[in-house]
């Protein structure tokens, strides 16, 4: 695995040798965000060794380098999901590569189902913690000591200081909320009983991504911030059946607010680091 990571990061270092400060991985609702900046450099995932081309619509599968408040920021548009059948190590490879490129902070976005009854479709929620319900973990296997310890601390996965910045920025855009995200493998949406279970153990959101990326980033000491776009109420919280079309529709509707917020958030983060 380490050889694959090094091969990918070496390719990027050769093509774009500048120091990189921040990174963002875009989920549903953030597709096209990279196009709102002037790129310093851009790659298709298919050009980067070992990167998986995303199969889910709405994402281009590009890595774009931009400058925000004089800090180089890399935007990853599109991710592979565990439910697509890839090895979990390959899912987190781009995040591992980011850490090998010495990135100091990472923002992750996703679409999620709302479990907390105070949430409505279209809400943007900052993650305050997560619960891994998959029984898998991207750090299973030989530890890469160069990146981080065998038993990494996970007591503050989602950086408190950056969440405070998010709260301040959010004031201009939406009502700031925080929640706990439960990671299910998918690709099925959850059953009402599973959602009820997640709620009982403290989850506010359910989704199929983000947690593996957050785990390997924290392992490597990267500060993480993550946001869910609530595209639907989770199964059983509302009576209506779930569909991917509904997820896409709400994601598209909220996209403008999410992207405007994110631009300002990235500016503030880059000024703070």
Considering 22, 63, 81, 213, which one is annotated as catalytic? 81
Considering 111, 203, 235, 262, which one is annotated as catalytic? 111
Report how many residues bind ligand HPA under the rule CB under 6 A. Answer: 13
244 noted as active-site residue: yes
Alpha helices in the chain (DSSP H): 2-15, 88-91, 93-100, 160-170, 192-200, 211-219, 244-272
59 noted as active-site residue: yes
Instruction: Kindly state the smallest distance separating residue 242's Cβ from ligand HPA, in Å.
Output: 6
Q: Is 80 a binder of ligand HPA (CB under 6 A)?
A: no
Tell which positions 203-262 bind ligand HPA, by CB under 6 A: 206-208, 231-232, 234, 242, 247
- For residues 245-267, b (16+ Cβ closer than 10 Å) or e, as one string? eebbebbeebbeebbebbebbbe
Query: Within the chain, what is the greatest distance between any pair of CA atoms?
Result: 52
In the chain the first and final C-alpha atoms are separated, in Å, by: 30
Query: Which residue is associated with the tokens 């969440």?
Result: 163
Nearer to ligand HPA, 65 or 258 (CB): 258
The separation between CA 115 and the C-alpha centre of its own chain, rounded to angstroms, equals: 19
How is residue 232 written in tokens? Answer: 């639907």
Considering 67, 84, 178, 267, which one is annotated as catalytic? 84
Q: Which residues pair with 71 in a beta bridge?
A: 68
DSSP letter (8 states) at residue 221: T
- For residues 61-86, b (16+ Cβ closer than 10 Å) or e, as one string? bbbbbbebeebbbbbbbbbbbbeeee
Cα distance between residue 258 and residue 253, in whole Å: 10
Instruction: Kindly state the smallest distance separating residue 224's Cβ from ligand HPA, in Å.
Output: 19
Instruction: Kindly state the smallest distance separating residue 237's Cβ from ligand HPA, in Å.
Output: 9
How is residue 73 written in tokens? Answer: 């920021």
130 noted as active-site residue: no
**Binding residue (CB under 6 A) for ligand HPA from 30, 112, 198, 216:** 112
Instruction: Kindly state the smallest distance separating residue 4's Cβ from ligand HPA, in Å.
Output: 28
Closest residue to bound ligand HPA by CB: 113
28 noted as active-site residue: yes
Considering 1, 83, 87, 196, which one is annotated as catalytic? 83
Tell which positions 160-199 bind ligand HPA, by CB under 6 A: 189-190
**Binding residue (CB under 6 A) for ligand HPA from 91, 111, 126, 248:** 111
From the list 184, 191, 220, the residue with the least C-alpha distance to 205 is 184
Instruction: Kindly state the smallest distance separating residue 138's Cβ from ligand HPA, in Å.
Output: 18
Residues near ligand HPA (CB under 6 A) are: 111-113, 189-190, 206-208, 231-232, 234, 242, 247
Which residues carry out catalysis?
Answer: 28, 59, 81, 83-84, 111, 208-209, 232, 244
């Amino acid at each position: 695995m380490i050889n694959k990571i090094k091969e990918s990061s070496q390719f990027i270092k050769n093509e774009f040798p500048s120091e990189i400060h921040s990174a963002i991985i875009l989920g549903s609702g953030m597709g096209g965000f990279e196009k709102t900046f002037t790129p310093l450099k851009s790659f298709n995932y298919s050009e980067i060794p070992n990167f998986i081309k995303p199969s889910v619509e709405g994402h281009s599968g590009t890595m774009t380098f931009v400058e925000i408040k004089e800090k180089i920021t890399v935007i990853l548009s599109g991710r592979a999901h565990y439910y697509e059948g890839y090895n979990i190590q390959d899912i987190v490879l781009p995040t591992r590569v980011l850490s090998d490129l010495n990135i100091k902070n990472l923002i992750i976005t996703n679409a999620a189902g709302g479990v907390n009854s105070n949430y409505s479709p279209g809400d943007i929620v900052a993650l305050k913690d997560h619960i891994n319900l998959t029984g898998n973990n991207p750090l299973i296997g030989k530890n890469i000591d160069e990146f981080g310890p065998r038993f990494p601390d996970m007591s503050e996965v989602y950086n408190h200081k950056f969440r405070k910045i998010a709260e301040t920025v959010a004031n201009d855009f939406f009502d700031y909320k925080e929640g706990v995200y439960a990671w299910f493998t998918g690709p099925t949406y959850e059953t009402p009983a599973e959602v009820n279970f997640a709620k009982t153990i403290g989850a506010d959101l359910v989704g199929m991504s983000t947690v593996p990326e957050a785990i390997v980033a924290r392992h490597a000491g990267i500060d993480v911030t993550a946001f869910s776009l609530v595209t639907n109420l989770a199964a059983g919280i509302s009576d209506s059946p779930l569909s991917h079309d509904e997820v896409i529709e709400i994601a598209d509707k909220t996209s403008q607010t999410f992207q405007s917020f994110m631009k300002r958030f990235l500016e503030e983060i880059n000024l703070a680091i």
